[in-house]
């Protein structure tokens, strides 16, 4: 279907352009003959050439715009089908393992308490993963439908960033923090937490085995800078803007080892621009990435 649309577009465009040139040629020839017969000057020919060129440029511009929009649609539908594949997989995996843990616990009620605790913790972890994935899908839907409303309030950002980091550290790993105290701003706490947790989750996911994650918060020239850095695989320059688009994931579904939906960074960047902030990604010296957020 996608190929058919592209072929149809190219055939139609070539036909329209050739027809345009053909009729233009005839019009000039006709004007030429009329000019000779009536002994008039050739200003009409120049008019035809001049206006024809403008029409031709407009036609080319229109065709180029249609081509760009078809390509965007094709890319989006590819990303959407990748998204469906990975979401289905990611919903099924934790559900299946939770079901197995529950069945085992039900069947072997005299199981060693340590084993029981381990299974319950694993089940809790997968439930948390499921919850945050569903939360992300809901937030993306609310953003797309313009149903998200901000509740901004004067907040001690330093305390809030510390709180989110400490909560995250309990379930994951230690974060190296460099947080200037008493930085305050008008923020929506839900936005701040969603953004920070998404960035922290990604840092851990893409940092490999010896993950080192740092968070910094500082105020510079009237701007608040919040950054999350990791020592992971880093992001190639050509993807530095792409990764903030919906469903974008680097690599392909077959070779990718990390789970994900491609929604996290889209949500982060949309929430920030809705909130009046921006985000960019830079290379970290020594490898890895730094995600830098500016709030004004």
Query: What is the closest distance, in whole angstroms, from the C-beta atom of residue 202 to ligand ADP in the complex?
Result: 4
Concatenated DSSP letters of 151-208: --EEEEHHHHHHHHHHHHHHHS--EEEEE-TT-EEEE-HHHHHHHHHHHHHHHHHHS-
What letters, b where the CB count within 10 A reaches 16 and e where it falls short, cover 256-283? eeeebbbbbbbbbbbbbeebebebebee
Report if residue 230 touches ligand ADP, rule: CB under 6 A.
yes
Applying CB under 6 A, does 235 fall inside the site for ligand ADP? yes
Helix axes 189-206, 113-144, angle to 10 degrees: 120
Binding mask 259-278 for ligand ADP (x = CB under 6 A): -xxxxxxx------------
Going 64 to 240 to 265 to 152, the CA torsion angle's sign is negative
C-beta separation of 274 from 148 below 8 A? yes
Q: Minimal distance in Å, beta carbon 274 to ligand ADP?
A: 17
Among the candidate windows 50-58, 111-119, 216-224, 226-234, which touches ligand ADP by CB under 6 A? 226-234
Residues 6+ apart with CB under 8 A from 201: 132, 264
Q: Please identify, using beta-carbon distances, which residue of 183 and 284 lies nearer to ligand ADP.
A: 284
Return the residue of 119, 191, 243, 271 that touches ligand ADP, per CB under 6 A: 243
For ligand ADP, the binding residue among 148, 226, 249, 271 (CB under 6 A) is 249
Using the rule CB under 6 A, is 194 a contact of ligand ADP? no
Among 98, 139, 248, 269, binds ligand ADP (CB under 6 A): 248
String marking each residue 23-62 x if it binds ligand ADP according to CB under 6 A:
----------------------------------------
Please pick, from the candidates 98, 165, 224, 232, the single residue that binds ligand ADP as defined by CB under 6 A: 232
**Interacting residues with ligand ADP (CB under 6 A):** 202-203, 206, 230, 232-233, 235, 243, 248-250, 260-266, 289
């Amino acid at each position: 279907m996608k190929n058919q649309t592209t072929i149809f577009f190219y055939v139609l465009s070539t036909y329209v352009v050739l027809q345009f040139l053909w009729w233009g040629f005839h019009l000039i020839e006709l004007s030429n003959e009329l000019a000779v017969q009536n002994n008039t000057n050739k200003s009409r020919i120049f008019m035809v050439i001049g206006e024809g060129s403008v029409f031709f440029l407009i036609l080319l511009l229109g065709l180029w715009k249609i081509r760009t929009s078809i390509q965007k649609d094709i890319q989006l539908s590819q990303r959407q089908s990748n998204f469906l594949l990975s979401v289905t997989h990611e919903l099924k995996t934790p559900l299946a393992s939770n079901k197995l843990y529950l069945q085992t616990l039900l069947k072997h009620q005299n199981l060693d308490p340590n084993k029981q605790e381990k299974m319950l913790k694993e089940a809790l972890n997968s439930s948390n993963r499921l919850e945050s994935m569903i939360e992300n899908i809901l937030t993306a839907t609310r953003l797309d439908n313009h149903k998200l409303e901000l509740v901004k309030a004067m907040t001690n950002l330093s305390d809030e960033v510390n709180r989110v980091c400490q909560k995250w550290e309990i379930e994951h790993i230690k974060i190296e923090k460099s947080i200037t105290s008493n930085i305050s701003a008008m923020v929506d706490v839900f936005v701040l937490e969603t953004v920070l947790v998404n960035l922290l989750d990604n840092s851990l996911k893409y940092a490999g085995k010896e993950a080192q994650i740092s968070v910094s918060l500082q105020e510079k020239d009237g701007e608040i800078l919040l950054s999350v850095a990791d020592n992971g695989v880093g992001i190639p320059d050509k993807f530095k803007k792409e990764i903030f688009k919906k469903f974008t994931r680097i690599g392909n579904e077959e070779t990718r080892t990390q789970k994900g939906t491609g929604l996290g960074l889209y949500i982060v960047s949309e929430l920030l621009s809705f909130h009046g902030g921006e985000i960019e990604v830079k290379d970290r010296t020594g490898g890895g990435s730094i995600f830098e957020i500016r709030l004004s």
